[in-house]
Amino acid sequence: MSRLDIIDASFHYSGDASRDQYVLVAFAVTGEMPTFGQISDFISTRAAAIPELTKRIVEVPGNLDFPRWVHDDAPAASHVFEISDARTWNDFRRAVDRLVTDPVDATEAAWRVHVARDVSEVPQTSGTSIVVVFQVSHAVADGRGASQLARMLFAPTPDSTARAHVGTVRSLVPAAVGSALTLPIRTAAARLAARKARRAYAHEHGFEPLQRDSHRPGIRGNADPTPSRVSHVHVCAPGLLTQSTLSVTTLALTAVSLATERYLDAVGDTTPDTLNSLVPMAVPDDSPWNAVNRVVNGAVDLHVTTPDLRERAQAIRASLRRTRAEMTDPLLLRWISAENLIPAPVFLAMKKLTARRVRPNHSVPETVLTNSTVISVDRGTKDLELCGAPALFTAGFPMLGPARSLTHGFYGLGDTISVCVVACPDTFPDHERYSEILVAAVTDVAEATAGRT
């Protein structure tokens, strides 16, 4: 049995309904439509050979330590479900809105695959398609990891790389007792390590890690969401966002800056000059990091005071590079790791205390640390297939959170990028209008930066 790191365990403990990772892949069917049984067999055979998909979580008695991964004895086919009421693309999108409010219980099953067959009006094809959503606990994988697992499920040939599987269930009572006995020592050691790491960072930079961020005015979309979710997916024409020498992440941030500016202007609000976006950034592969979720969140300036889109994109690219360098600073990563050494009982007690003290605010707050969220994931080449049906495009559904009633996801498969918006309809009811503005902004940014450095 392997122990979850605190970062991975935090997703398991989260009460947020949208805490999972979601990978949508659409497949074009040119011949006979495969049966659900054939599709289930295809997926189950692949999943059984992927160690990350053959495990589930077991909690330590009393939550005196973080949970353990153990082998999942359930057949892989029990994780595959058919969506029978999605006859059109719009039907499927509404089904997705239900899926993202129904997280997996990783103590029973850490993943699911949802399958819709004979779906019409799917973008990029005139026939009927198969559309699947791979849903996996965030404790299993981050965004890159979920994309890699999806590729293993739908690669042209199965992955034959031998990897170790987790062990079977054993009594966790000894672990609970040992954790309880050493709790005071481990808590003190964690605090000492965090203090040393914080001082080392401050000595190098002249300020402490938590002093890096500054508050800015809140905007529509910065309210705390309710559990309700709605999504929008726009599939760009192939090559639209790959003609520029700028990265898709830079173009995505530029488009979001323009869309936010246009939307706020349309509703009569002022766009703050300090408008920025939260961007998840990968921890370097050579950096010590115990969690499978190798991601830190940085804040990137969106430069809305720069009217020329080419110049704005260049400025955003520079801000993105600067933020990435700051967030992957070894001293900062060392401090984050040290802060995450706290034992499970202390972590859970702090979590409960925060929940009691800080109630959700469903109105727009006066100030926030970040105004928007942009996630950009490259899911590789467009060579995936399901029962002989080739992949068309991919999409995803980023989670909402405190002060985040609206998130953006840009997901690439080959030269095709999907622009995805997830919103809370209760706290951001104008989501459809905003999504239309965003799609137009993506096109304008792509045209303004095509072939430019």
Q: What is the pLDDT of residues 125-163, one digit of tens each?
A: 999 999 999 999 999 999 999 999 999 999 998 876 645
Q: CB neighbours (10 Å) of residue 356?
A: 7
Q: Is the pLDDT of residue 167 over 80?
A: no
**Per-residue pLDDT at 17:** 66
- The amino acid sitting at 93 is R
Residue 2: strand, helix, or coil = strand
pLDDT digits (tens, 9 = 90+) for 177-205: 999 999 999 999 999 999 999 999 999 99
Give exposure, 274-297, as e/b (b: 16+ Cβ within 10 Å).
Answer: ebbbbbbbebeeeeebebbbbbbe
User: Tokens representing 37?
Assistant: 């049984």
Instruction: Using pLDDT thresholds of 50, 70 and 90, give the confidence band for residue 15.
Output: confident
For residues 27 and 18, the model is more confident at 27
Instruction: Using pLDDT thresholds of 50, 70 and 90, give the confidence band for residue 210.
Output: confident
* 162-176, 273-287, 306-320, 414-428, range with the lowest pLDDT: 162-176
User: Tokens representing 273?
Assistant: 């000059």
pLDDT digits (tens, 9 = 90+) for 433-451: 999 999 999 999 999 998 7
Percent of the chain topping pLDDT 90: 89
Q: Is the pLDDT of residue 323 over 70?
A: yes
Residue tagged 């209008």 (tokens) = 433
For residues 453 and 309, the model is more confident at 309
pLDDT digits (tens, 9 = 90+) for 111-129: 999 999 999 999 999 999 9
Residue tagged 């992440």 (tokens) = 249
**Per-residue pLDDT at 355:** 86
Q: What contacts 12, CB < 8 A, 6 or more positions away? A: 4, 57, 67, 106, 137, 139
Distance CA 134, CA 52 (A): 13
**Per-residue pLDDT at 16:** 72
Q: Torsion over CA of 156, 282, 145 and 54, rounded to 10 degrees?
A: 150
Distance CA 375, CA 152 (A): 22
Closest CA to 255 of 451, 452, 446: 446
Summarize the confidence of residues 342-356 as an average pLDDT. 93
Summarize the confidence of residues 268-276 as an average pLDDT. 98
User: Tokens representing 436?
Assistant: 């239309």
Domain boundaries, the chain: 212-372+415-449
Pairing mode, strands 68-71 and 2-3: antiparallel
Q: How far is CA 198 from the centre of its chain?
A: 28
Helix pair angle (330-339, 173-205), 10° resolution: 150
pLDDT digits (tens, 9 = 90+) for 38-51: 999 999 999 999 99
Phi-psi region of 268 (alpha: psi -120 to 50; beta: other; left: phi over 0): left
CATH number of 212-372+415-449: 3.30.559
H helices of 155-303, in order, are 173-205, 248-266
Q: Is the pLDDT of residue 417 over 80?
A: yes
Pairing mode, strands 55-58 and 276-282: unpaired
CA angle 338, 344, 350 (to 5 degrees): 85
Classify residue 163 by its DSSP letter. Answer: -
53 to 3, 44, 139, 292, 341: CA distances (angstroms): 16, 10, 12, 14, 27
**Per-residue pLDDT at 243:** 81
pLDDT digits (tens, 9 = 90+) for 216-261: 999 999 999 999 999 999 999 999 998 888 999 999 999 999 999 9
**Per-residue pLDDT at 161:** 62
What are the counts of helices (DSSP H) followed by strands (DSSP E) for the chain? Answer: 10, 17
For residues 2 and 248, the model is more confident at 248
**Per-residue pLDDT at 20:** 96
Q: How far is CA 443 from the centre of its chain?
A: 24
Distance CA 289, CA 385 (A): 33
**Per-residue pLDDT at 236:** 97
Closest CA to 322 of 304, 294, 300: 300
Q: Is the pLDDT of residue 1 over 70?
A: no
Distance CA 12, CA 226 (A): 19
**Per-residue pLDDT at 164:** 57
Residue tagged 């062990």 (tokens) = 167
**Strand extents, DSSP E, 255-405:** 276-282, 295-301, 367-368, 372-378, 385-386, 389-396
**Per-residue pLDDT at 220:** 96
Distance CA 282, CA 327 (A): 9
